[in-house]
Chain A
Amino acid sequence: MMIWAIFAAMTGAAVFALLWPLSRGRAQGFADAADARSLYRSQLKEIDRDLARKLIGDEEAQAARTEAARRLLRAAGDEADPTGETEPSLRRRRASSALMLSIVPLLALLIYGLYGSPGQPDQPLAARLEKAGPQQDFAIVLARMEAHLAANPGDAKGWALLAPIYLRQGRYDEAAKAFAAAVRAGKPDAELYAGLGEARIMETGGIVTAAAREALAEAVKLDPKSPRARYYLALAKEQDGDGEGAQAALAQLLAEAPADADWSGAVRARLERMQADAGRKAVAALPEAERQQAIKGMVDGLAERLSTGGGSLPEWSRLIRARTVLGDKPAALQAVKTARERLADDKAALAAIDALADELALKEAAP
């Protein structure tokens, strides 16, 4: 709030300074002729001075005087009438004041409102460096850690701390280097090897390279249960074309997962996708009629599952799309309706469903 008070004071001061000359004195006209007269008079004096110092000759001085005098006479002829305090001049002053009182604050607020960040405090570096404890700002901590590690590259603990941060920030190559440094400097640790594998995979955009595999293998050797390493090794299997092996590995991973494992959701999603992919591949291999049948069966299965409750936006979208593609418009409309009911609490999801309905031209039959 403080800052708005300052802004208000600044605006007030500026407008006041603008209004000031309007409040002063009576209206005046311009006295140009008087100014001009004084100029030419001073020019005449200058000529006399130059003549006295013998900087110009008599003849030159005479000619110059003549000319200045001529101009002086002309200027005197131009004499303008000064304006007095009149009704129009008062009205003009009021209009100008109104203009100042409105335009200045309005324009300033409009532009500042568009681009300003009134809530953001200054953050000079020195103050950020001094701050300690929990309110310390993250970039500074990171910078300090980096500086510390640049000076002590053997600090395995530091590297182990820094590497996951890089990984989370998407700085994969730096993450890979940090994990590698941690592994090199410290005791062998499954978690670090698994991290190294993950960073290497991310670095290459999801491809499990030989280097990544090596790290993952090392991790499993140290800790056969390491879920991260096992997960990525499963992906490696899939990449090698061993879909069933990958599914089996993930299924086993899920089966052994502790009940509260936060990663099991991700693993399950991946497994389902693998199964779906595998199903699609299998279906694609079927003859035409059977394929339609198989697809319909799958869609019905999905509808069945969704009708019993729950279902996320992507699932509903998939169902609506599938029904439309299969040419079953009433069923598609039914799905839209049910989805709208189920997702009624989620505005964004509703909008998405509506957009999808629009896209698929399912709107006209809507009530």
Chain B
Amino acid sequence: MIVEIGHYALALALGVSVIQTVVPFWGVFRQDRTLASVGSSAALVSFALVALSFAALVTSYVRSDFSVGNVVANSHSAQPLIYKFTSVWGNHEGSMLLWVLILTLFGALVALSRRSLPPRLRAGALAAQGLVAVAFLAFTLFTSNPFQRLSPVPAEGQDLNPILQDLGLAIHPPLLYIGYVGFSITYAFAVAALIDGRIDAMWARAVRPWTLLAWTFLTLGIAMGSYWAYYELGWGGWWFWDPVENASFMPWLAGTALIHSTVVMEKRDALKVWTILLAILTFSLSLLGTFIVRSGVLTSVHSFATDPARGLFILFILIFFVGGSLALFAWRAPLLRQGGLFAPVSRESALVVNNVFLATACATVFVGTLYPLLLEMVTGDKISVGPPFYNATFVPVMVPLLLLLPIGQSLAWKRGDLLGAAQRNAFAFGVAVLAALALLSFTRGGPVLAPLGVGLGVFLVLGAGFDLAERIVTRASGWRAMLSRARGLPRSAWGTALAHAGVGLSIIGIAAQAWSSEAITVLKPGERLTSGRYTITLEGMSPRTGPNFRAEIARFQVFSGDRELAPIEASKRIYTARAMPTTEAGIRTDGLSQAYVSLGEAQDGGVAVRLYDKPLILLIWIGSLVMALGGGLSLTDRRFRLAAPKRAAPAAAVQPAE
């Protein structure tokens, strides 16, 4: 009965979402606040229903209810409980339900944030968001229903794809979806503003926390996915420029631009039209990502098993929301009141430069991702666009942006002093150059670009640090005064500095990968293999039985020079239900670096072993975490949790408006 209640709740949620769209829109058009307020209750009801539905599916998974087709196809009674839980979103249907759950959760949050949002904007946004919910609820119910029942009921499930049975992947999709779907809110706000024909700093202030929230989670989701690919796929790579990765990276780039442009809008009442467009584009790219992942039009290592009906449905959703909002934009944007002026050298101009570069970088990724599809449609040729393409396009666009970042960061609003900003950053730049030169001479004969990359990263980290220091440290005052200044700095300033430093840390980690090394050979027990700084000795192999797999485990001693690190276990697993093998890499963390061992096939009494030395690789993800932390910190800025704006007492003289 629980299953059916979940199913019915989902169908009911569709009806409620229709109301969430129709009635508040009407209210906004007719200036009727009562109708508009229906949006809030509808959003809350629809979230409650979808949550009920999701809980029902989770219950079916946890109880191994094999009368539900989705549970049979993606679960096994012998799975550890945690994976029964996460199997819910380890497949297309369940992950769609999670998608919708997060979508309605955001709707509910908007409905609840009544204090910081002008009611008309909230009503319009909830209506637009309701429409997105209608589309995705219909998609889930009609093409990807997770509640399909089976009869007769099988005795055992087919298990979840083994490489998804992993903690990293358990939390990767929810994080990523919160990011993707969070941008639906900014999209909804943009649509509401266009319909309303009014947009101002209020709008920017209302949108900024949602953008920050979505961006923070998208950052975490992408980082998590990257780390998962790194340790689970066993090839030691952490980013493949795979279409599905790009699908999450494009909204991230656009969202990063959006965060910066909303600041300009809030502070200077400028860049309005561009910001609206960016808000629309960001969510459009999220939808495009969904389309790419679910339809299978692009070959990717991810690819769900596909179904033409689904691809078509999503394509329709994509065209409707992207095309519809862009048409709305073309129609209404010229009516928006133009924003203010600003000087060429100022913080706002620097942020425009940021936007131009980020948008361009996003465009290169877009081209690289979709060009193969276009070419295949036109000429029938199949091509793949890999890392060399992005190294030649994306990287040259990002480098100037990152070089300018610390300078732009230290420019003042309205009228900046370029020379002063350059001077303020001269020290950081000098240190960075020295670091690069030192590395260059130290690693003579090695890759040339790597020290430069590390130098760039150092520049970013120091630049962010000095910028903060500049605002805290003054010559005259003592530490007490400084402390109070530090406390007086808005949290968003701390957040900005942290996020920028995080970018720098990631850049250092990425650049350092040029020094990574790899060795591969067949090892017999007692034999050694050296790669870079690390040497491993195969101690022996032994079998082990897990709950739903059998494994062959190889144990290695690890040395860095003469220093012995804790041993590594790497293994090959066979998951019994699908008879599918997986490789579990063995990783030993050594400071910020890692020794990474992955196993090949057993042969001639030994086993094929690949050993990587991955210098400073952890910085890539630590940097991402720091970025996300910066986003989170900005989110707690008091401006975003303003006390309720005092509403004027109901006007005494009530006049009929129509």
Contact = CB atoms under 8 A, between A and B. Distances in A.
Interface of A: 2-3, 6-7, 10-11, 14, 17-18, 20-22, 24-32, 34-40, 42-43, 46, 53-55, 60, 63-64, 67, 71, 75, 78, 80-86, 88-89, 92-93, 96, 99-100, 103-109, 111-112, 115-118, 120-126, 128, 137-140, 142-143
B419 interface: no
Contacts of B40: 21
Nearest to B118: A35
Nearest to B412: A60
Given A35-B647, A36-B200, A18 B41 contact: yes
A39 B646 CA distance: 10
Interface string B197-208: 010111001000
A83 B5 contact: no
Contact of B153 (A25, A29, A89, A139): A139
* 3 shortest interchain CB distances as A-B pairs: A38-B645, A143-B155, A124-B63
B485 A42 contact: no
B485 A125 contact: no
A18 B45 contact: yes
B201 A71 contact: yes
6 contacts: A10-B5, A28-B33, A35-B647, A36-B202, A37-B648, A124-B60
A82 B8 contact: no
Interface in B94-138: 118-120
A317 B593 CA distance: 80
A210 B413 CA distance: 91
Interface of B: 1-5, 7-9, 11-12, 14-16, 18-19, 22-23, 26, 30-38, 40-42, 44-45, 49, 60, 63-67, 77, 118-120, 141, 145, 147-149, 151-156, 198, 200-202, 205, 268-269, 340, 412-414, 471, 484-485, 488-489, 639, 642, 645-648, 650-651, 654-658
Contact of A20 (B2, B41, B201, B202): B41
A18 B38 contact: yes
B485 A39 contact: no
B42 A18 contact: yes
A115 B7 contact: yes
A6 B202 CA distance: 44
Contact of A121 (B1, B9, B63, B202): B1
A92 B32 contact: yes
A2 B1 contact: yes
Given A3-B4, A99-B19, A138-B152, A31 B648 contact: yes
Contact of A96 (B35, B77, B412, B648): B35
A27 B34 contact: yes
A161 to B, nearest CB: 16
Nearest to B138: A111
A125 B65 contact: yes
Contacts of B340: 67
Contact of A22 (B11, B38, B44, B651): B38
A84 to B, nearest CB: 4
A38 to B, nearest CB: 3
Given A29-B33, A84-B654, A14 B63 contact: no
Contact of B12 (A11, A34, A67, A117): A11
Nearest to B34: A27
Nearest to A54: B485
Contacts of B66: 123, 125
Given A123-B65, A123-B153, A142-B155, A14 B8 contact: no
A39 B8 contact: no
A137 B18 contact: no
B414 A139 contact: no
Contacts of B12: 10-11, 14, 104, 108
B114 to A, nearest CB: 11
A82 B651 contact: yes
Contact of A10 (B8, B32, B155): B8
A149 to B, nearest CB: 14
A123 B19 contact: no
Contact of A63 (B16, B41, B65, B414): B414
B614 to A, nearest CB: 42
A112 B33 contact: no
Interface centre among B7, B18, B32, by most A CB within 10 Å?
B32
A17 B44 contact: yes
Nearest to A85: B654
B306 to A, nearest CB: 21
Contacts of B77: 125
B1 A99 contact: no
Given A111-B141, A122-B67, A125-B64, A84 B656 contact: yes
A64 B22 CA distance: 41
A111 B413 CA distance: 55
Contacts of B202: 35-36, 39
A157 to B, nearest CB: 21
A92 B35 CA distance: 8
Given A107-B18, A116-B7, A32 B118 contact: yes
Nearest to B123: A30
Nearest to B28: A30
Contacts of B33: 27-30, 83
Contact of A111 (B11, B19, B67, B152): B11
Given A3-B4, A111-B11, A111-B141, A30 B639 contact: no
Nearest to B266: A43
Contact of A14 (B16, B148, B639): B16
B5 A93 contact: no
A30 B4 CA distance: 41
Given A96-B26, A115-B147, A122-B2, A35 B45 contact: no
Contacts of A117: 4, 149
Contacts of B4: 3, 116-118, 120
B657 A83 contact: yes
B154 A139 contact: yes
Nearest to B337: A74
A112 B13 CA distance: 11
A140 B155 contact: yes
Given A18-B45, A22-B38, A86-B656, A92 B7 contact: no
A116 B64 CA distance: 20
A123 B11 contact: no
Given A10-B9, A27-B34, A83-B656, A35 B22 contact: no
Nearest to B67: A123
B35 A83 contact: no
A108 B15 contact: yes
A174 to B, nearest CB: 14
A115 B141 contact: yes
Given A39-B202, A92-B26, A111-B141, A103 B647 contact: no
B643 to A, nearest CB: 9
A66 to B, nearest CB: 11
A310 to B, nearest CB: 36
A28 B149 contact: no
B189 to A, nearest CB: 15
Contacts of A31: 119, 647-648
Contacts of A29: 31-33, 657
Contacts of A60: 412-414
B637 to A, nearest CB: 11
Contacts of A111: 11, 14, 141
B152 A84 contact: no
Contact of B38 (A2, A96, A142): A96
Contact of B45 (A17, A28, A75, A93): A17
B650 A139 contact: no
Nearest to A123: B67
B63 A82 contact: no
Nearest to B493: A55
B45 A39 contact: no
Contacts of B36: 30
Nearest to B14: A107
Contact of A27 (B15, B32, B148, B655): B32
A122 B26 contact: no
Given A14-B45, A118-B4, A138-B152, A55 B38 contact: no
